[in-house]
Amino acid sequence: MKWQGRRGSRNIEDRRRSASGGKSIGGIGGIGIIAVLIIGYALGIDVTPLLNQVAGGGSATTQSTQITAADEQSAQFVSVTLADTEEIWRDIFARQLGETYQPPILVLYKGVTQSPCGGASGATGPFYCPSDNKVYLDTAFFTTMEQQLGAGGDFASAYVVAHEVAHHVQNELGILGQANQIRAQSSTEQSNAISVRIELQADCYSGIWAREADIRFASLERGDIAEALNAAKQIGDDTLARNAGRVPQPHTFSHGTSKQRQSWFKTGYETGDLAACDTFSAAQL
């Protein structure tokens, strides 16, 4: 992915130089966090409330955090990727919907931080919080993707950012709020099924972003789409379950299978059409 030397976004809130220290979020010990990691790896909606429920309390202090050269490079990469999403979605909203796009703020942090949706930890993966219209990201997750999930490459990392921004797009369109309202009134299995459609639509929107990024900025290089599709594969619910030594249980899926996530990303990439990403009306995912 060609990104060096290009415009970065101003919608970055950098919290990396201060982080909560002491105990983990809510006082969860190492074993508790490890149990939650598999859920966090699945990307998408906020999973940190689960950490808070398990924790039930605890205290934290504030301490200074050292920023490395690698941290700075990752932050610049995220900033450029976010800027790309801003231009692309502003154009798509105007061209396909006749509406104005309001971009989200992206919060960069290192270690742990807080959000209206709950505590944020690098262990849980990136998430979008509709309460404050912000994306929360610890760039250390990119290392986790490469080393633990087998989803390396700069475009795989860009896909992560694009996926979370896609949740903001859903929120701007009123889709996310309606879907979550229905989820709150549904059984666990029904709620999971709706969550899958939310996540697959975000994957489809990510595909639209990838298509437009190549057209507008000529930023894609050979192998970039393969990196994104591999990332989608590695974070499919069925693949995560198997890699954790568990038998996949479709009724528990909240993000979709590897095949579904890849398929909907390709739908967005091939069509560039918001209407083609209507996972909620799709008879088959």
pLDDT of 123 reads 67
pLDDT of 84 reads 96
- Tell me which of 72 and 266 has the higher pLDDT: 266
Q: Is residue 90 part of a domain?
A: yes
pLDDT of 19 reads 56
Q: Is residue 141 part of a domain?
A: yes
Q: CB of 20 within 8 A of CB of 62?
A: yes
Q: Is residue 7 part of a domain?
A: no
Looking at the chain, how many residues does it have? 285
pLDDT band at 275 (very low <50, low <70, confident <90, very high): very high
Question: Could you tell me which residues are beta bridge partners of residue 136?
Answer: 107, 127
pLDDT of residue 145 exceeding 80, the answer is no
Q: Which structural domain range is residue 174 located in? A: 12-277
Q: Is residue 251 part of a domain?
A: yes
Percent of the chain with pLDDT over 70: 82
Q: Is residue 264 part of a domain?
A: yes
- Tell me which of 57 and 230 has the higher pLDDT: 230
pLDDT of residue 33 exceeding 70, the answer is no
Number of domains in the chain: 1
Q: Is residue 4 part of a domain?
A: no
Q: How far is CA 179 from CA 110, 198, 261, in A?
A: 31, 8, 19
Q: Is residue 239 part of a domain?
A: yes
pLDDT, tens digit, 9 for 90 and up, residues 85-108: 999 999 999 999 999 999 999 999
pLDDT, tens digit, 9 for 90 and up, residues 9-25: 999 999 988 755 333 33
pLDDT of 42 reads 44
pLDDT, tens digit, 9 for 90 and up, residues 192-231: 999 999 999 999 999 999 999 999 998 888 889 999 898 8
Mean pLDDT of 59-84: 78
Mean pLDDT of 252-272: 94
pLDDT, tens digit, 9 for 90 and up, residues 231-261: 888 888 888 888 889 998 988 888 999 999 9
pLDDT of residue 178 exceeding 60, the answer is yes
Mean pLDDT of the chain: 82
Q: Is residue 61 part of a domain?
A: yes
